[in-house]
Amino acid sequence: MAVKLNATKREDLTKSATKQIRLNGRVPAVVYGKAKDPKNVSVDSVDLVKTVRDEGRNAIISLQVENSSVDVMLHDYQIDPIKDELLHADFYIVNMSEEMDVNVAVRLDGETKGEKEGGVLQQPFYEILVRAKPNNIPEEIVIDVSDLDVGDSVSVADIKVDGNYEILEDPDTSVASVTPPTTEEDLDTDDVDENAEPELVGAENDSTDEESEDK
């Protein structure tokens, strides 16, 4: 079920009007989709952040624009790096009966056996691409790694799909692994005996020359 979010049309697109919208605690946004004319709207900043935090990035949002509503997903957004405030948002209109490709967050659950032995858990990917109808897109994909020992790994092929979606990544792609612990021996790449006496270059020849002189 889609979560509701109220929006207001934006008629004045000047910089001063956009600045005032932000000062009023709202975020300027664009709503667009296939064969759809883009619409300029604004949404409450707090409501948008709360919706994404509670429902997830891939949540289906019923955007209420005056007397009509449209099902959308948050496609992109911009944040002020200094003030850490939302500057702009893009909403993509979705067809609830058509499949779409989206990135879904991957979360590793549990402490591995390998970590208890000093191993290091590696996670090369934090998102994977899936295909599903909007209502079937998972909020996240959770992988239990508690049984992984040092040297073990989990690939895309090992993921148990719990729902009506398809993973589009290469089945051999590793999404989690436990590498051996780094020891002082691993860091010491030179197997040199510090107490060994240095070999004198030409020592053998000198010995041979002395023998020749004795003769």
pLDDT in tens, the chain (215 residues): 679 999 999 999 999 999 999 999 999 999 999 878 899 999 999 999 999 899 888 999 999 998 889 999 999 999 988 988 889 999 999 999 999 999 999 999 999 999 999 999 999 999 999 999 999 999 999 999 999 999 999 999 999 998 999 999 999 999 999 999 876 555 454 455 555 554 544 444 444 454 444 54
Judgement on whether residues 167 and 130 belong to the same structural domain of the protein: yes
Domain boundary among 45, 67, 93: 93
Judgement on whether residues 133 and 178 belong to the same structural domain of the protein: yes
- Global pTM exceeds 0.85: no
24 lies in which domain range?
A: 3-93
Strand partners, 27: 43
Judgement on whether residues 32 and 78 belong to the same structural domain of the protein: yes
Residue 178: inside a domain:
yes
Residue 197: inside a domain:
no
Number of independent structural domains in the chain = 2
Distances in whole angstroms, Cα of residue 9 to Cα of each of 66, 69, 74: 8, 12, 17
Residue 111: which CATH number? Answer: 2.170.120.20
Judgement on whether residues 86 and 107 belong to the same structural domain of the protein: no
